[in-house]
Amino acid sequence: MGKEVDLGLRKFIKELGCMAAGTAVLSSMPWLNSCTPDKLKEVRRERKARVALIGTGSRGCYHLVNLRGIGHAEVVALCDIYPENLARAREMFPRATPYADYRKLLEDKNIDGVIIATPLGTHARITLDSLSAGKHVFCEKAMALTMDECKAVYDAYVRQGKALYYCMQRMYDEKYIKGFSLIASGELGEVVGMRCHWFRNADWRRPVPSPELERQINWRLYRESSGGLMTELASHQLEVCTLVTGKMPVEVSGFGDIIYWKDGREVYDSCSLVYRFSDGRLINYQTLISNKFNGMEDQILCSRGTVDLSKGVYYLEDDHTVNGMRQLLNQIRDGIFAAVPVAGPSWRPEVKGEYVPHAILESPVSVNGGQNMTGVENDGSLEILSAFCQSCITGAKAPNLVEEAYCSTMLCLLGNEAMEKREVTAFPDRYRIPYMKF
């Protein structure tokens, strides 16, 4: 498939750059500067990026589907230790060389970059080996299973000249990009807080053909290979919070438990945490996988409005677009309540009003309800993968991308530590990097 299918973002970025203050917006999101139609034209004059996929499970095959629509990419190798998954991937790309050992794959000098979609516990080792082999790297979130591993990967990235991407797709999602710029403009006032949640109702378990494959296939359920809901889900949402504030929280507290899926898993199926910044602002974060009613939301609370980035809408505290009849009814209601005496003085209830949603983008947006376990269309996954393939050709790094992945992963791991200790846990000084502001 030679047709480019990620032109939408490229045109959007070009239009954004032509807007008033567009240059300032793009300078605050420098990883987007390569995502323009002009940059794509430059890449098309070069050869295709020769990429290999390590890990051909559900998410890996999701990337393969997207790679079919990236005209400047060529899949030349596939790797998996599970033969059934590898065979399925080979049906999609029969000309790609198959491998059972990723270290053998890394010996191939014709491979420009590798895409890592393996269990979290293997991310750091495969990333470090790939960088050492001179490959550009695209890795699924989160960065690593431990803080020490994260720091080792970050240090290797700084030392070596290769591009490194983590699949933090919200940074390439149009509704998030425009939402970031709206918040940064100050039109909605100051950011005063953040509320993020992700609710599902599923056991997170996959069928196992034989018992000895349990930990290999259901790796998300065991601490030796997984950071649980925090690294799998919260990593995306906490990254949004640090982006809009430009800061890192200084401490976190919270609770985590296995309250419903008591099936031998070791990671929590329920997490509730509060991250605190040095100026007192909070991130309230909750995730649960035994009730899906609330779905997923990334809410940024500002003094004059609220932005729900996940749905591509914002709400105003004082909304003058409310129609006249509703205003009249509200005035009557407020007049009645204001006249009710309570303990002497007049009492006015502080209740939630009726908020009108305003679209962040003029064009229709794709909303992720949070229930899909593999990936959804138009969430930025295609665009960030395309940008990586572009870097495999040009050698250019994506500014701030690794640093943001490092920050969000560290916050997830710190949250897990706080829940385990059941105490307020401060961010350790030894893991600070120059990019961080507190």
368-409 residue pLDDT tens: 888 876 777 789 999 999 999 999 999 999 999 999 999 999
Span of 9-23, 40-54, 78-92, 111-125 with lowest mean pLDDT: 9-23
CB crowding 41-51: b at 16 or more within 10 Å, else e: eebeeeebbbb
Q: Encoding tokens for residue 374?
A: 């593999």
- DSSP E strand boundaries for 105-208: 113-116, 136-139, 164-166, 191-199
Span of 17-21, 68-72, 199-203, 266-270 with lowest mean pLDDT: 17-21
Over the stretch 25-48, which tens digit does the pLDDT of each residue have?
678 899 998 888 888 888 877 889
At 322, the pLDDT band (50, 70, 90 cuts) reads low
pLDDT for res 338: 47
User: What mean pLDDT is predicted for residues 208-223?
Assistant: 96
> Taking 90 as the threshold, does the pLDDT of residue 135 lie above it?
yes
> Taking 50 as the threshold, does the pLDDT of residue 346 lie above it?
no
Distance (Å, rounded) from C-alpha 355 to C-alpha 377? 28
Give residue for tokens 């198959």: 98
pLDDT for res 343: 40
Domains of the chain: 7-171+377-398 (3.40.50.720), 190-370+403-431 (3.30.360.10)
Determine contact, residues 81/20, Cβ cutoff 8 Å. Answer: no
pLDDT for res 271: 98
Determine contact, residues 56/78, Cβ cutoff 8 Å. Answer: yes
Task: Give the number of other Cβ atoms within 10 Å of residue 291's Cβ.
Answer: 11
Give the mean pLDDT of the chain.
Answer: 90
Distance (Å, rounded) from C-alpha 376 to C-alpha 363? 18
pLDDT for res 422: 97
User: What mean pLDDT is predicted for residues 315-323?
Assistant: 80
Please enumerate in sequence order all residues whose Cβ is within 8 A of that of 345, keeping only pairs 6 or more positions apart, or say none: none
More confident residue, 361 or 112: 112
At 105, the pLDDT band (50, 70, 90 cuts) reads very high
Q: Is the peptide bond before 142 cis (omega within 30 degrees of 0)?
A: yes
Positive or negative: CA dihedral 264, 121, 66, 208:
negative
Task: Give the number of other Cβ atoms within 10 Å of residue 331's Cβ.
Answer: 10
pLDDT for res 150: 98
Residues linked to residue 256 through DSSP beta bridges, in sequence order: 271
Residue 147: closest CA among 426, 409, 418: 409
> Taking 60 as the threshold, does the pLDDT of residue 323 lie above it?
no
At 265, the pLDDT band (50, 70, 90 cuts) reads very high
pLDDT for res 412: 98
At 200, give phi and psi (nearest 5°).
Answer: -135, 170
User: What mean pLDDT is predicted for residues 198-205?
Assistant: 96
User: What mean pLDDT is predicted for residues 295-308?
Assistant: 97
Per-residue DSSP letter, 5: -
